[in-house]
Amino acid sequence: MEKLAINGGTLVRDTKIYYGKQWIDEQDIQAVADTLRSDYVTCGPKTQEFERALEQYTGAKHAVAVSNGTAALHCACIAAGIGEGDEVITTPLTFAASANCALYCGARPVFADVEMDTYNIDPESIEAKITDRTKAIVAVDFTGQAVKHKKIREICDRHHLVFIEDAAHAIATTYDGVQVGNLADITTFSFHPVKTITGGEGGAVLTNDDALYQKINLVHTHGITHDPILMEEPVHEGPWYYEQIMLGYNYRITDIQAALLCSQLKKLDAFKARRKQIVQMYDEAFAKLPEIIVQKEIPESDTCRHLYIIRLDLEKLSCTRREFFDAMSAENVQCQIHYVPVYWFPYYQKLGYEKGICPVAEEIYKGIMSIPLYPKMTDKDVQDVIQTVTKVVGNYRR
């Protein structure tokens, strides 16, 4: 057995590879440079161009570009009418923003458990958590795989709930041939650098509902409008005139970011194709390792995978997850953990949440680890990751 680098053996790689990384090329740089030389660096034509391009790509009627994915979720909750005393059901296996957005509105997040094989929110658990205070469901497309839309849609319709899809991981994923962004009542995207396309930061809120769009559009820009149809004062006040008609926020994106996103969006299909190739290579390799459990996918989801998660069967290994993680890092393959269950955090504990409320999510969390996945990876990079996982498993196999 080849000795692990952490124990003095030879490294698999000479340079570090990370779990995610943006891919910025000369076209992207030129798009940003052109905007910097233009008359607008914010609130200008590039933002509108990106919104229209996103609508065209997803098929959604309306898209509003915002400053980040968390802002997108906050706007979605406000537009959905979520307020003091309401409850919003979401998953604990996510970034904190999926739950925090309910708290921002004075509502209480309620955590439904996840499915053991897909790691996505379990519709049966959603059903069990609904009360007369439930106002919306924030369903997260974990790792990029679409949630079970048909079942969640039926639950929302039957209980008169707003279906918010947190698709921060899932741009370019389709469900039954329909693009994510054109399925739920409201969909949110994130454009953080490790996501499939990036604006450095940035987010978007999409909907097919005109009334929801009007609220989203207002809330992301201070609740201020220039639209004479929405204003109370006569239009003849002057072309400079605007009104604040609700309490909103400054969640606007810049034209600099939008220019980068316009350029990145043109490469989205190519990024998806490469991600799928890498996922297939991983799936084939890890099928040979009984110590490694891989995420299952539902047939309806043609997934653009944001994260590739391996789950360690710790009963078949003589190490802890931390020891496995450190051994991977010592070989220059840097992994990450997605995610600590949200209600485990001290802030949520102080709000009265207790460990144990979502046992499936907690069991999954014990063994999961995100390994490198991004389009710029070469086949050699992918093989290095596979070799490293295989090497570490081999050294710790019971």
CA 210 to chain centre: 24
Q: Can you tell me the distance from the alpha carbon of 72 to that of 252, in angstroms, rounded to the nearest whole number?
A: 10
CATH architecture classification, 26-265? 3-Layer(aba) Sandwich (3.40)
Q: Report domain extents, the chain.
A: 5-21+268-396, 26-265
CATH no. for 5-21+268-396? 3.90.1150.10
- The end-to-end CA distance of the chain, in Å, is 13
Q: Can you tell me the distance from the alpha carbon of 283 to that of 293, in angstroms, rounded to the nearest whole number?
A: 10
Q: Can you tell me the distance from the alpha carbon of 334 to that of 328, in angstroms, rounded to the nearest whole number?
A: 7
Q: Can you tell me the distance from the alpha carbon of 396 to that of 382, in angstroms, rounded to the nearest whole number?
A: 21
Q: Can you tell me the distance from the alpha carbon of 186 to that of 9, in angstroms, rounded to the nearest whole number?
A: 51
Q: Fold match between 5-21+268-396 and 26-265?
A: no
Per-residue pLDDT 10s for the chain (398 aa) are 899 999 999 999 999 999 999 999 999 999 999 999 999 999 999 999 999 999 999 999 999 999 999 999 999 999 999 999 999 999 999 999 999 999 999 999 999 999 999 999 999 999 999 999 999 999 999 999 999 999 999 999 999 999 999 999 999 999 999 999 999 999 999 999 999 999 999 999 999 999 999 999 999 999 999 888 888 876 667 888 899 999 999 999 999 999 999 999 999 999 999 999 999 999 999 999 999 999 999 999 999 999 999 999 999 999 999 999 999 999 999 999 999 999 999 999 999 999 999 999 999 999 999 999 999 999 999 999 999 999 999 999 99
CA 338 to chain centre: 11
Task: Give 131-197 as a DSSP string.
Answer: -TTEEEEEEE-GGGPPP-HHHHHHHHHHHT-EEEEE-TT-TT-EETTEETTSSSSEEEEE--TTSSS
